[in-house]
Amino acid sequence: MISTNSNIVLSSTSPKVETVSNVQPLISKQLFWKLFRLQAPQFIIKPENKEIIFSIFRYFLQLPNFNEYGVIKNKADLEKGLLVYGDYGVGKSTLFSAIHEVGRTIVSKTQNTQLWFPRISTVHMLSQYYESQKNLGSNFKLENYYQGKLYLDDLGKEDKAYNREELIGKLLFERHHRKFKTFVTTNENPSAIAARYGTHIGDRLPEMFNIIKWEGKSWRE
């Protein structure tokens, strides 16, 4: 009897109940696909790339079976971010840019933020950082990127800041600490990422990210 009562009290005050009221309806596959096609009509999906592309779509649609094709070799989890690495020119950046634009369209029309994430390349982030050091009028702050979702393109392509500081390593560390989802596309494999930014990042990659290796022929040829 006592335990039943305390259960009722617990469930009526648990934070879960509060979050439920904030949950937005999931974006449907149909809406996503329609907007994706409008956004990227030339983007070809063929047998060689379809399993990876559909797994990434399913991840953003928050479908629990998103790893049905088994393209994620570490533990697949919708609560983690995505790290897509592999061959140059296979379409990593193109795909994420198109999803970014779909997310932007959805948020502007419906306020639903499920697919919304800001996007920046690591090289551009470094140049904004340098600019902010020279120009007091700049409003760039690395800390502004510590929160919320973020898509980082071309991880590892950037230089060290002033040849000494790994700004992007710091960013990844701070974001992991705060448990925000990061999406990364890169030509560097996880060992190269670990070698560059250090084991404090390298060891955490599997818990931060669903890791996908994307190999194939370059569209640039």
Ligand X SMILES: Nc1ncnc2c1ncn2[C@@H]1O[C@H](COP(=O)(O)OP(=O)(O)O)[C@@H](O)[C@H]1O
What residue ranges bind ligand X (CB under 6 A)? 42-44, 88-94, 185, 219-220
Applying CB under 5 A, does 94 fall inside the site for Mg ion?
A: no
Nearer to ligand X, 74 or 93 (CB): 93
User: Could you give the CA distance from residue 111 to residue 168 in angstroms, rounded to a whole number?
Assistant: 30
Best CA proximity match to 176, nearest among 212, 202, 138, 213: 202
| Residues in CB range of 101: below 8 A, 6 or more apart | 39
Among ligand X, Mg ion, none, what binds residue 89 when CB lies within 5 to 8 Å by partner kind?
Answer: ligand X
Q: In terms of CB distance, is 77 or 196 closer to Mg ion?
A: 196
User: Is residue 93 at the binding interface for Mg ion, with CB under 5 A as the rule?
Assistant: yes
User: Beta-carbon neighbour count of residue 23 at 10 Å?
Assistant: 8
Residue nearer to Mg ion on the CB measure, 92 or 176: 92
Which H or E element spans position 177? helix 167-177
Nearer to ligand X, 22 or 42 (CB): 42
| Beta strands 150-153; 81-86: pairing state | unpaired
Choose the one of ligand X, Mg ion, none that binds residue 156, judging by a C-beta under 5 to 8 angstroms depending on kind: none
The distance of closest approach from Cβ of residue 153 to Mg ion in the complex, given in angstroms and rounded to an integer, is 6
Structure tokens at 31: 């809406």
Minimal CB distance to ligand X: which residue? 91
Residue 40 CA, distance from chain mean position? 19
Binding site for Mg ion (CB under 5 A): 92-93
